[in-house]
A = this chain, B = another copy of it.
Amino acid sequence: MELNTALQKLKEYEKRSFALYHASGLMYYDGATTAPKGSAGVRAITLGELSRMSYELTTAKESIEMLECLIAHSDELDPVTRRKASELYRDYERTHKIPIDEFVAYQQLCSEADSVWHDAKAASDFSMFEPYLQKMFDSTKRIALYMEPGKHPYETMLDTYERGLTIAACDEFFDTLKKRLVPLMHRVAERGDRVNDAPLRQSFPIAKQRELSDYLMDVMGIDRNHCILGETEHPFTTDFSKYDVRITTHYYKDKFASSMYSVIHEGGHALYELHTGDELSCSNLGRGVSMAIHESQSRFYENIIGRSREFCGLIFPFVKKEFCPLLNDVSAEEFYRMINKSSPSLIRTEADELTYCLHIMIRYRLERAMFDGSITARDLPHEWNRLYKEYLGIDVPSDKYGVLQDSHWANGNIGYFPSYAIGSAYGAQYYKEMNRDFDVKAAISAGDIGRINSWLEDKIWKYGCMKDPVALFESVCGRFDPSCYADYLENKFTEIYGL
């Protein structure tokens, strides 16, 4: 194939690949927010078929010839095209080893399992979900072994969400964190009465919570012309290019801070997607590069920015006005302390910053055990509850608040959870670096979130998938150092709890 032909074919390939990605993504978003309940069956058919088309495109003889030609002419290509070709070829190498029927069946399983999970969670009935969950782990393991026959299948999955991440690195990271955080958690627990968050647990009108969401998106500088907020069971973000990003939240009358921090968290994901480079858009490089880098944005905005004293001070006048008179007697400083109240709890997405990573470690241990075959899906509720007792010292009252709480396994995202903890830890290093360039607290107090956005856009967002995640992180912060995150947490919670 001539180079010019290959370049032309790349354009056609990208268009088709983007259309399939866009259509599947919308199908998923719609299913989670809008679609009638009885539509899950037909959606599964369509999602299966779209993934079949995607597989066919990736593995088509013509596609491979195009990629081989581009790679052979690598030196003549501009950096964007070169990266596109090498990333597409990597996809091909992983995908073509999976038999097509296995590939399609897996996609269908994801949409079916998601639908069953919703019902099982609502009914707090694990037995409904158990067979799907077992199939999901089995199928994921098989696919991992197809993709990388010589590698531990769980490591292949870690690498799928965070390229280069290994079991050894995870073990080391979590060990460090556990050693620092568990004693800190116990010290905080002894002073639990120093922070009273009862005022946050009053009944806040949902219409007002919706207005708060709009306000927060504006404060964060999210372009509403390209980003909407939907409502769903389990908040998530999805993007169909930098021109169409969807974030979601869930409103509870008696937990307005839950929805508020979902919006800020998902807003962090959205900002990343909305600012990938124009020249990458609608291509395989035009999205966030990995899950840890993605979560490092969302968790950074949610916690390091969103739960800072300065951010609380910035938004509190609006919060107070909206929820007046419920927060009449609360000051901005008290609000800051309340939303940072730390205590071992059941639900990961509502966990405080200090205990959050312990929730992740539990999931990491369970995923490993499922992959090692030392437990099966049937054992998961019991093991889940046992680990919550071991790590957080609490009893799980029912599976709805336990093993059924997260959507990840239902959606096939096995090996994803560690990214949350690594991303959280990355954030502490961004914060340190950012402060070398300007006074971040002062920028927040001044309402100048745009300055933070510009810094991240320049260092991370605009690159999309142009760099590997580790290289991208190191280009900004140097070597990854989990103790930086542990220090950040220790300083913050020591101060709040007067330890």
Contact = CB atoms under 8 A, between A and B. Distances in A.
A69 interface: no
A42 B225 contact: no
Given A42-B240, A230-B34, A16 B49 contact: yes
Contact of A15 (B27, B30, B49, B226): B49
B244 A37 contact: no
A64 interface: no
Contacts of A241: 42
Contacts of A41: 243
A369 interface: no
A397 interface: no
A3 interface: no
- In the assembly, how many copies of this chain are there? 2
Contacts of A226: 36, 38-39
Interface string A40-63: 011101100110110000000000
Select the residue from A16, A43, A53, A244 with max chain B CB neighbours within 10 A. A244
Given A23-B23, A26-B30, A30-B26, A243 B49 contact: no
A406 B50 CA distance: 33
Task: For chain A, give the interface size range.
Answer: 35 or more
Interface of A: 15-16, 18-19, 22-23, 26-27, 30, 34-39, 41-43, 45-46, 49-50, 52-53, 223-228, 230, 240-241, 243-245, 282
Given A26-B27, A30-B30, 8 more contacts: A15-B45, A19-B45, A19-B50, A22-B46, A23-B46, A36-B228, A36-B244, A42-B241
22 contacts: A15-B45, A16-B52, A16-B53, A18-B46, A19-B45, A19-B50, A22-B42, A23-B27, A34-B34, A35-B244, A36-B225, A36-B227, A37-B225, A38-B226, A38-B243, A39-B226, A39-B243, A41-B243, A42-B244, A42-B282, A46-B240, A53-B53
